[in-house]
Amino acid sequence: MDKINLVEKLGLISEYWHPKIVGEINDSFVMLVKLKGEFIWHLHESEDEMFLVLKGRLRIKPRRGDVILRDGEFFIVPKGVEHMPVADEEVHALLLEPKTILNTGNFTNEKTVEAEWL
């Protein structure tokens, strides 16, 4: 049982939109990610997805109205909800997601990555 320093771990991440696993709890991964720019519209048919902003401002765009997250705020995107995350400037975030989730949800393209342990 080791404690995890999120600031140190985030310092090891250099790519945007590539989640890195830093822990696991039950059937979910705890992941860190740096975000910048727009992702893609996608949905997760059978998994909820949690975004916790550690630093910056993240806009999550469901089809109806934007959700703006700032430092210390989180939002759970319910399964089946199409959304697009947007980070106008660099954002540091913690994700809590089932181990089965694909970052691009119902699409596979050049932004599809498998989370790796950091």
pLDDT (tens digit per residue) in 76-99: 999 999 999 999 999 999 999 999
Confidence band for 56, pLDDT divided at 50, 70 and 90: very high
Q: Which CATH class is domain 6-108?
A: mainly beta
* pLDDT at 15 exceeding the cut of 80: yes
**Judging by beta carbons within 10 Å of its beta carbon (0-12, 13-18, 19+), is residue 109 exposed, middle or buried?**
exposed
- Paired strand residues for 73: none
Cα-based distances in Å from 88 to 18, 55, 85, 100: 17, 13, 10, 28
- Global pTM reads 0.92
Of all residues in the chain, the percent with pLDDT exceeding 70 is 100
The CA distance from 96 to 40, in Å, is 19
Q: Which residue has the tokens 């990555």?
A: 113
Confidence band for 107, pLDDT divided at 50, 70 and 90: confident
